[in-house]
Structure 1
């Protein structure tokens, strides 16, 4: 039996986001974001996160406005903090470890597209999971690109573009992000 486009998406295989099942999930996520982003009460925000996300650790906080593709592929550890205007494109899993702090305007992007223009025009895309360890600090405006793993206790400088894995305890800065000496 052939897999659905959503099954392909969740497996990180090339898929078409225009299929009705995925479009319906995008609409549900847009409705959820509208509710989340207008909610002031912290307990109500927590309840909304738990309703939509794969996992939410105790004390995890996301300050609105917040944007994501689906939400159901996002797992937050205990005490995770995301500041204003963060974006998570979660076509596949995004895991953020306990105690990680993420600055305003950070983008965590699992979605990827063909490099060949003919393939790109076909509408295919895919995702590559992102894993962010425990006690990581990601500065404002950083971009975390598809497939990146950031090790525990690492620091990503503000405005950095992280295209490669970051080792445990490392500090990276720049575009593309490189280890700071």
Structure 2
């Protein structure tokens, strides 16, 4: 029995992104994102209608500023009052959960996909999807990058421009590339 690339992606197995079904899902996401990014702010509201319908879930008062980009949308879950500032990109090949009251600064990038380590695997489009979780009331500074498989705890702070390669404990503050824990002033 052949397993679809979408099922492999959802199961956290190696899959190829060069696939008609996955491309159709990405096209649907691009259409929803285009609408969100193109609507006048008063018409768009917190989240454009097509993007709202595509998301895995969005709590009361969740807001995504334009411009925004996501790969699929259906793997993105926003808690009540979560805020994504302008320029955020979420490559949601796996579930991305952003907790209530969490703030993402401008141009934050969240990447769930890891490409194959071997050139032949990359050439074949092989990647593996790992979820990202950000707890409640966290603050992710502008232009931070959060890599596949990372969990960030409740109340944590990620400094602007940091590259988060490992889990961050609740209430910790991390900065740098790679991000490391610092003592608050």
Q: Quickly name the TM-score band, shorter chain normalised.
A: over 0.9
The number of aligned residues is 181
Q: Does 1:25 align with 2:25?
A: yes
Q: In the alignment, which residue of structure 2 is the partner of 1:70?
A: 72
**What is the alpha-carbon distance in structure 2 between the residues aligned to residue 49 and residue 116 of structure 1?**
35
SS in 1 for 2:116: coil
Deviation, structure 1 residue 17 = 1.2
Tell me the SS of whatever aligns to 1:179. Answer: strand
1:111-144 residue CA offsets vs partner (Å, 9 max, x unmatched): 1111122322222111100000000000000000
Q: Please give the root-mean-square deviation of Cα atoms over the aligned residues, in Å.
A: 1.2
Distance 1:47 1:34 in 2: 11
Q: Which residue of 2 aligns with 1:106?
A: 108
Distance in 2 (CA, whole Å) between partners of 1:44 and 1:176 is 32
Q: Distance in 2 between matches of 1:36 and 1:25?
A: 17
Q: Assess if the C-alpha contact under 8 Å between 2:46 and 2:62 holds in 1.
A: no
Q: 1:129 aligns to what?
A: 131
Q: 2:8 aligned with 1:8, yes or no?
A: yes
Ranges in structure 2 where 5+ consecutive residues have no aligned partner: none
Offset of 1:46 from its aligned partner? 5.1
Cα distance, 1:120–1:46 mapped onto 2, change above 3 Å? closer
TM-score (norm 1): 0.96
Structure 1 runs of 4+ aligned residues shifted over 4 Å read none
SS, match of residue 47 in structure 2 = helix
Which consecutive unaligned segments of at least 5 residues does structure 1 have?
none
Contact 1:46 1:61 in 2 (8 A): no
User: Do the aligned residues in 1 keep the contact of 2:77 with 2:97 (CA within 8 Å)?
Assistant: yes
Task: Give 1:16 deviation, angstroms.
Answer: 1.1
Deviations 1:66-104 (A, max 9, x none): 000010000000000010000000011000000000000
Q: What TM-score results when the alignment is normalised by the length of structure 2?
A: 0.94
Equivalents in 1 of 2:28, 2:82: separation in Å? 24
Distance 2:174 2:7 in 1: 35
2:158 touches 2:175 (CA, 8 Å); kept in 1?
yes
